[in-house]
Amino acid sequence: MAEAAHLNVLLFGGCLVHWPMTRTTRAEGRIRYDAYGPIREIHSFAEMFQIVEILRGQRKIPEEFQLISRMTELRPVSGAADFGDIDVALLEPASPIELIFRGVAFHRNAITTNFLKPIMDRGREERKVGAIWLRHGLVGLNEEIRADAAAKLAEYVIGDTPEDDFARALFLEVRSRKTDVLGGFVKMRELLSRPIGVVCYNFRYMPDGRPISWPAGFREEVLAAAQQLNLPVFDPAPMVQSFGVAAALAEDLGHYSAEFMPVAADALVEFTESVHRNANAKTALAA
């Protein structure tokens, strides 16, 4: 059952949270997700912390970082001091690896699309080096492999424009670290002081609908942390299984199909409303 008025919601997640909300009409009149500006898709807790800092005026992302952070459009919002007008925040940590360049957090899709793919498209050797740098060096947290592959990638950038200089610096200076899932939830709860709902990120699905975690164990770590902190969880796996994996997913098997998107949106909105209702009920009992 829908709420009497729309809920003010913060979306801290990737495509499986943002796209159902923003690319369908299901949230209209029930959920507002843009009151604090264009918060884009993110993957890590480091990006969540960064967004809060930007909204509070504690930091500003330089324009030249637009291609990797996609946060330069965000501006300080007075309400971010206590987020008092926020009804619910949805958190979907989608990666256990945090990527940092000169103090700016971003997710791998940004660097893959804008910087790595143009080089990897040149040939087999470039593809091999790019994959080693990203998968085994950064995501694999192997500093020796990262440094060796980064030096080769920097050599592949042969221009002398400011954009070329930025690309070389990016390949050489990006560092990665494993996220603290439990600590991330704890910090976000302290920063927001608002009701939080956790959306479980499922990397892929088996043909029978079983969710696949990547890297192995990440999904379980997120669920265990949410349970330890008594945070409500939305796991889309049963919904995907019921609808049918082939019908629910797009061709890449990592995003929802156009047919399934409204179904996912309805479920996410209903979950958000339930988080809000339960939080209000707890507040009333405590009064």
DSSP H helices, the chain, are: 15-22, 45-55, 66-69, 108-111, 117-120, 124-131, 143-156, 162-173, 181-192, 218-228, 237-243, 245-248, 261-286
282 & 196 share domain: yes
pLDDT for 287 equals 63
15 & 153 share domain: no
Identify the bridge partners of residue 208 per DSSP, sorted by sequence position: none
30 & 131 share domain: no
Q: How many domains does the chain have?
A: 2
DSSP 256: B
Q: Could you give the CA distance from residue 176 to residue 98 in angstroms, rounded to a whole number?
A: 5
The radius of gyration of the chain's CA atoms, rounded to the nearest angstrom, is 20
Residues 6 or more apart whose CB falls under 8 angstroms from that of 114 comprise 67, 68
Classify residue 2: in a domain, yes or no: no
Question: Which residue type is seen at 278?
Answer: N
The β-bridge relationship of strands 175-178 and 97-101 is: antiparallel
Residue 10: what are its φ and ψ, rounded to 5°? -105, 130
51 & 84 share domain: yes
Residue 210 belongs to domain with CATH number: 3.40.50.1110
pLDDT in tens, the chain (287 residues): 344 479 999 999 999 999 999 999 989 999 999 999 999 999 999 999 999 999 999 999 998 898 898 898 999 999 999 999 999 999 999 999 999 999 999 988 989 999 999 999 999 999 999 999 999 999 999 999 999 999 999 999 999 999 999 999 999 999 999 999 999 999 999 999 999 999 999 999 998 889 998 888 999 999 999 999 999 999 999 999 999 999 999 988 889 999 999 999 999 999 999 999 999 888 777 76
Q: HSE (CB half, 13 Å, CA atoms) of 62?
A: 7
Task: Name the nearest CA neighbour of 77 among 57, 51, 60.
Answer: 57
Helices and strands per DSSP (H, E), number in the chain: 13, 10
155-209 pLDDT, tens digit per residue, is: 999 999 999 999 999 999 999 999 999 999 999 999 999 999 999 999 999 988 8
Q: Which residue segment(s) compose the domain that 209 sits in?
A: 7-96+179-286
The residue from 121, 143, 177 where one domain ends is 177
39 & 115 share domain: no
